[in-house]
Amino acid sequence: MDETPPEHLKSAGLKSTLPRLKILDLFKSGSERHMSAEEVYKQLLAVGENVGLATVYRVLTQFQQAGLLVRHNFEGGKSVFELNEGTHHDHIVCLQCGHVEEFYDSAIESRQKKVAAELGFEIHDHSLQIYANCTKTKCPNKR
Amino acid sequence: MDETPPEHLKSAGLKSTLPRLKILDLFKSGSERHMSAEEVYKQLLAVGENVGLATVYRVLTQFQQAGLLVRHNFEGGKSVFELNEGTHHDHIVCLQCGHVEEFYDSAIESRQKKVAAELGFEIHDHSLQIYANCTKTKCPNKR
DNA sequence: ATGCAAATGAGAACGATTACCATTCGCATG
DNA sequence: CATGCGAATGGTAATCGTTCTCATTTGCAT
Ligand SMILES: [Mn+2]
Ligand SMILES: [Mn+2]
Ligand SMILES: [Zn+2]
Ligand SMILES: [Zn+2]
Sign of the four-CA dihedral A118, B93, B139, A125: negative
Cα A89 from Cα A106, distance rounded (Å)? 10
pTM for the whole structure: 0.90
Mean pLDDT to the nearest integer, A40-52: 96
3-state helix, strand, coil in chain A (%, to 5): 35, 25, 40
Which residues of chain A does B111 touch, with a Cβ-Cβ cutoff of 8 Å? 105, 107-108, 111
- Let me know: does B56 contact B7? Beta carbons within 8 Å: no
Distance B20 CA to D13 C1' (A): 37
Helix (H, G, I), strand (E, B) or coil at A129: strand
What pLDDT band is residue A2 in, cutting at 50, 70 and 90?
Answer: very low
Angle among Cα B66, B67, B72 to the nearest 5 degrees reads: 115
pLDDT single digits (tens) A102-139: 999 999 999 999 999 999 999 999 999 999 998 866 66
Output the pLDDT for position B135: 80
Output the pLDDT for position A86: 95
Give the CA diameter of chain B. Answer: 53
Cα B52 from Cα B33, distance rounded (Å)? 21
Record: contact B131-A126, CB cut-off 8 A: yes
pLDDT single digits (tens) B47-89: 999 999 999 999 999 999 999 999 999 988 999 999 999 999 9
For nucleotide D26, the protein residue with its alpha carbon nearest to C1' is B17
- Let me know: does A113 contact B95? Beta carbons within 8 Å: no
Q: Please state, in angstroms and as integers, the Cα–Cα distance from residue B37 to each residue in A132, B27, B96, following that order.
A: 27, 12, 22
Answer whether A5-83 and A90-132 agree in fold.
Answer: no
Cβ within 7 Å of nucleic strand C, residues? A 6, 10, 15-18, 36-38, 53-54, 57, 61, 77-79; B 14-15, 17-20, 50-55, 58-59
pLDDT single digits (tens) B1-44: 445 566 788 888 899 999 999 999 999 998 899 999 999 999 99
For B90-132, give the CATH class: alpha beta
Output the pLDDT for position B76: 86
CB neighbour burial string for B104-125, b if at least 16 within 10 angstroms, e if fewer: ebeebbebbeebbeebbbeeee
Q: How many residues does chain B have?
A: 143
Range B104-110, long-range pairs (CB < 8 A, 24+ positions) = B105/A111, B105/A112, B105/A115, B107/A107, B107/A111, B108/A108, B108/A111, B108/A112, B108/A115
CB-based contacts of B107, cutoff 8 Å, min separation 6:
A107, A111
Question: Which ligand has the shortest distance to the CA of B129?
Answer: 4
Considering the segment(s) A5-83 as one domain, its CATH architecture is: Orthogonal Bundle (1.10)
Record: contact A105-B123, CB cut-off 8 A: no
Distance B15 CA to D27 C1' (A): 8
What pLDDT band is residue A143 in, cutting at 50, 70 and 90?
Answer: very low
What order do you get walking across the sheet with B35-36 strand by strand? B35-36, B79-83, B69-73
Nearest alpha-carbon partner for A92 in B75, B131, B119: B119
CB-based contacts of B103, cutoff 8 Å, min separation 6:
A115, A119, B89, B90, B91, B92
Each domain of chain B, given as residue ranges in start order, spans 5-83, 90-132
